[in-house]
Amino acid sequence: MDCDVAILGCGPVGATLANQLGAAGLDVVVIERDARVFPLPRAIHFDGETMRVFQSLGLRAEVESISRPGTKGMHFVNAEDRVLMVRAGTAAEGPQGGANNHYFHQPELEVVLRAGLARYPNVRLLAGREATAVEADAAGVRIVLDDGLHGGIVTSVTNRPDAAGPTEVRARWLVGCDGGRSMVRRAIGSTNEDLGLHQPWLVFDAILERELDLPDYTVQRCDPARPMTMCCVTGQRRRWEIMLMPGDDPEAIARPENVWPLISRWVTPADARLERSAVYTFHSVIAHGWRRGRLLIAGDAAHQTPPFLGQGLCAGIRDCANLAWKLVRVARGTAPESLLDTYERERRPHVQAFIELAVRLGAVIQATDPAVAAERDARFLQGEAQVFEYPQPGLGPGLHAGGFGGVLFPQPRLPDGRRLDEALGNAYAVLGEAAAIDAADAATRERWRAAGAVVLRDPGEAVAAWWRARGLTAVVLRPDRYLLGAARDAHELASVSALMA
């Protein structure tokens, strides 16, 4: 079985990447060891930029139907329930074209993303098949599969079984979206940088069976006696994340009879039924070496973050957004293979900024020394509760230029009511004042045409406000909606547009 790109892992990251590559017309094979979607909750939060990526897949309505916007943010409280700080929520129309926080049940999201793959006959899913070996050379990759005796099915994502099934897949490229124990990362030979946090927590998911007076937002309880997170997910789903303390037995604490007493202040077995209880170690690591030749990694295979910002899934989806359009152009021969070298250079500093902030928040939440916690409380309670927004770091060095290159451009509404990306599709885009666009020379216009760029003259005040506030007249957006660059005049617009080549 030959293909352009093989993807190892069909979780949300692998399925998102497969949707992106499938929509672009590449032949894609996705290899997933589980025969069916894993039925228990895992990730529960994504942000506005992630929803923007789902929108680019043509799946926004479907994702909205199985998620809820979280407009009240996250409240950090001390042992006396006094608010220390708040991660701000956003209204329904935030800067990315929607709320900046969304809560969901991962199995439902995976069903939506796999259903999206069914739109593309050029995408095949090998479910219930496990890769046992990866061999790469200059021409491509050979992925050896097990015999599929554990319930494997081969489908075009419509669950039509193929009794035979391949014993190997040959691909021009392989992307490992295969988690923290990634086989592809090992094949690349990547090394991991430890950013300093490794702490076991109990994750307890429950479904309420009657209405309770529980907050409809996330609460980070910074209680030195037992740090804890309380999450309102969707519907009647609730999650508690409970830090293990010295002397806790990780196996024993996960048993229902030991969990319920920890949360009896809020819920009892008479109020809810247990869906899952497990101990996880929250890690903060980032790989060095996301690509070697025809092998690449994305998602947890490339980085792992503590959950205190809810950015684990988001980071993997951003990987997809950065990688997909580059891989499409390289596979088609319209860009040099060296374009893929910008993937890690751009993404690693960006994701590291989020991980480092999550580690700093972890230090606030996980303070268990009463004296340290008291000093923390006094510092935060001196004035009004501190409110902070998500960071918006720029990309690391790569395919962008100038002071605004590598910055994510917002997604406001156009005068006709559409969100910006609905008019742009997944192409390069040139947006600017009519005079700036009209002043472009013939060579610049030819670059736009050759790159398939969408050009919008005077796209409306909501869009233009961004560049006018910065003394600019035009911007050039990459397919992932990060700025290729910005311009004050026709000369600068020509210079930025030359990067499209």
Give pLDDT tens digits for 360-373.
Answer: 999 999 999 999 99
Mean pLDDT of 249-267: 96
- What's the rounded Cα separation, in Å, for the pair 182 and 191? 12
Architecture category of domain 420-500 in CATH: 3-Layer(aba) Sandwich (3.40)
Dihedral of the CA atoms 460, 466, 468, 474 (nearest 10)?
-80
What is the C-alpha to C-alpha distance for residues 106 and 111, in angstroms, rounded to an integer? 9
How many Cβ atoms from other residues are within 10 Å of residue 472's Cβ? 22
In the predicted structure, residue 156 carries a pLDDT above the cut 60: no
When pLDDT is cut at 50, 70 and 90, the band that residue 162 belongs to is very low
The pLDDT of 175-202, averaged and rounded, is: 95
Q: What does the pLDDT read at residue 150?
A: 52
Residue for token digits 């259903």? 115
Higher pLDDT, 197 or 105: 105
pLDDT tens track for 321-339: 999 999 999 999 999 999 9
Q: What residue spans define the domains of the chain?
A: 2-66+100-191+285-355, 420-500
pLDDT grade for 164, boundaries at 50, 70 and 90? low
Across the range 131-145, mean pLDDT stands at 95
Same fold, 2-66+100-191+285-355 and 420-500: no
Phi, psi of 258 (to 5 degrees): -100, -25
**What is residue 87's predicted lDDT score, i.e. its pLDDT?**
87
Q: What is the pLDDT of residue 1?
A: 67
* Of 339, 476, 464, 342, the residue nearest 398 (C-alpha): 342
The CATH topology of domain 2-66+100-191+285-355 is: FAD/NAD(P)-binding domain (3.50.50)
Contact 132, 146 (CB under 8 A): yes
Q: What is the pLDDT of residues 388-413, one digit of tens each?
A: 877 889 999 999 999 999 999 999 99
* Residue 18 buriedness (CB in 10 A; 0-12 / 13-18 / 19+): buried
pLDDT at residue 161 greater than cutoff 80: no
pLDDT of residue 452 exceeding 50, the answer is yes
Residue 187 has pLDDT above 80, yes or no: yes
pLDDT value of residue 268: 96
Whether the per-residue pLDDT at 141 is higher than 70: the answer is yes
Query: Tokens in use for 39?
Result: 């039925």
pTM score, whole prediction:
0.95
**Mean confidence (pLDDT) of the chain:** 94
Question: What pLDDT is stored for residue 14 in this prediction?
Answer: 98
pLDDT of the residue at 77: 96
Distance CA(269)–CA(68), nearest Å, equals 26
